[in-house]
Structure 1
């Protein structure tokens, strides 16, 4: 028995429930988590915490935590949890929409969206949330607590981090992996200035193609969002540049760009042709791919 792993398999739901319990029973954890999200030390009191909160129009939040500050006002954290699953199209946008709806319904007076995941996942994530907390940060929090229960929770999350490191090969889609490999190899050969990401195994829903044209600026990237039919620039953590970016792209006459502020970031997007990489071969949609690449090249020129 001693040779067996303590956990057969840790799922995102397992982590959801661990974090949910901490919100409910531990004021120390709740204060630490909220302070980390807000970037300042605060004390709060728990109103409640919920798992898998669904909205019929805007989808599901993995966790919702509502707290009060000394002023008596209620605030919410809408939390997405990931170990290794690919983000759904516009997932972070729907978190914002659910947060805004909560304000309209007077469930809370303000909100923040947050994603928790292994650090490796966050470094490769293109979805934009108001804040990010890595599993490693949570492990460090538990590691500073003196009780055996916290030691167990730290070891539990370390196993989830290890699962991310190993990769969840059972979810790999051969068709999506092959499509992305051909797409990225084509761009690397013919348009190296876009600096495409390296090919890697992909799940069926992993349909975002990333370009990093500014070699020394990974916080500014171009993405072909295949499901969603968009090519976009993502300015991560650059919300203070919203008006500058909006003015810049508002002056473009030949294309219609949509400039959006999302949390602490800004996106600039334009429509592109419909492609289904799971039912269509790369060669079958070569014309549509070239149209998307042309849009990416155009966006690249406007970065400067």
Structure 2
């Protein structure tokens, strides 16, 4: 028995339930966890936490955490937990839609979408969430405590990190990786002013192409959502600038643009051509790509005015 691993296999559900328990029974952990996600010290009161909350149209949240903020406002964290599973198409976007729906149904007044994963997973993530938090950060919290229970929690999550390291290569989709690389190389050669992201291995559902019009400002990104057929500017965590952003695009005549609040962010989007990713190579859809890039260039001109 001594030669056996303590855990045969750790799943994302196992981690979900560990976090759920800590959030509901450990006030120090709950305050630290929410503060880490809000990226500021927060004195909060947990209202509740729920696992695997499904919406018939918008999909499932791994965890939803409701709490009362220092200002007495009911807020929520919608958390997606990943170890080594691939992201579903537009998963981050659907998390945001569920958050907005919660506001319209008076479940909470504000929300944050969060991706929790090993750091190596976060480094290659292309899905948009308001905040990312790594397993390693949670492990560090538990390691600061000398009690046996905390040390067990840290070891448990460390085993999940090791699983991620062992399992990553199996999720790479060669077709999507080659398509994205061809797309990004084309933009880098012909329109470097869009500052495209660096090509990386991709899973089948990772079809968002990112451009960073201001290289030193990663919180403003232009995204081509290929399957979603949208070119979109995302102002991450800049809802306070909503009126300013509306004014910036108010006189746009080159494209029909839709400006919307999106959780704590703001999006500006327009329609993009249909591209059949399943049955087409990059060369076969280059004309549609050119149209999408042209829309991105027009939007960038409004950004830099």
TM-score (norm 2): 0.85
Distance 1:208 1:128 in 2: 10
Distance 2:34 2:116 in 1: 13
TM superposition outliers: structure 1 runs of 4+ over 6 Å? 1-4, 69-73
8 Å contact 1:219–1:235 — kept in the other structure?
Answer: yes
8 Å contact 1:183–1:282 — kept in the other structure?
Answer: yes
2:155 pairs with 1:148: no
- Corresponding residue for residue 24 of structure 1: 24
8 Å contact 1:48–1:67 — kept in the other structure?
Answer: yes
8 Å contact 1:197–1:212 — kept in the other structure?
Answer: yes
- Corresponding residue for residue 261 of structure 2: 261
- 1:1-304 alignment runs, 5 A limit: 6-7=6-7, 9-38=9-38, 39-45=40-46, 47-67=47-67, 75-103=75-103, 105=105, 107-108=107-108, 111-122=111-122, 125-164=125-164, 168-304=168-304
- The count of corresponding residues between Structure 1 and Structure 2 is 303
Distance 1:214 1:71 in 2: 34
Deviations 1:70-103 (A, max 9, x none): 9998653321112344443443343344344445
1:154 Cα deviation after fit: 1.6
Distance 1:257 1:146 in 2: 55
Distance 2:190 2:100 in 1: 43
Distance 1:213 1:107 in 2: 36
8 Å contact 1:114–1:132 — kept in the other structure?
Answer: yes
Distance 2:174 2:61 in 1: 29
8 Å contact 1:129–1:263 — kept in the other structure?
Answer: no
Q: Give the secondary-structure state (helix, strand or coil) at the position aligned to 2:228.
A: coil
Distance 1:210-1:7 versus aligned 2 partners, 3 A rule? farther
TM-score (norm 1): 0.86
1:68 Cα deviation after fit: 5.3
8 Å contact 1:102–1:108 — kept in the other structure?
Answer: yes
Structure 1: 5+ residue stretches without partners: none
Q: Give the secondary-structure state (helix, strand or coil) at the position aligned to 1:50.
A: strand
Distance 2:137 2:218 in 1: 22
Q: Give the secondary-structure state (helix, strand or coil) at the position aligned to 1:301.
A: helix
1:227 Cα deviation after fit: 1.4
1:301 Cα deviation after fit: 2.1
Distance 1:4-1:216 versus aligned 2 partners, 3 A rule? farther
1:62 Cα deviation after fit: 0.5
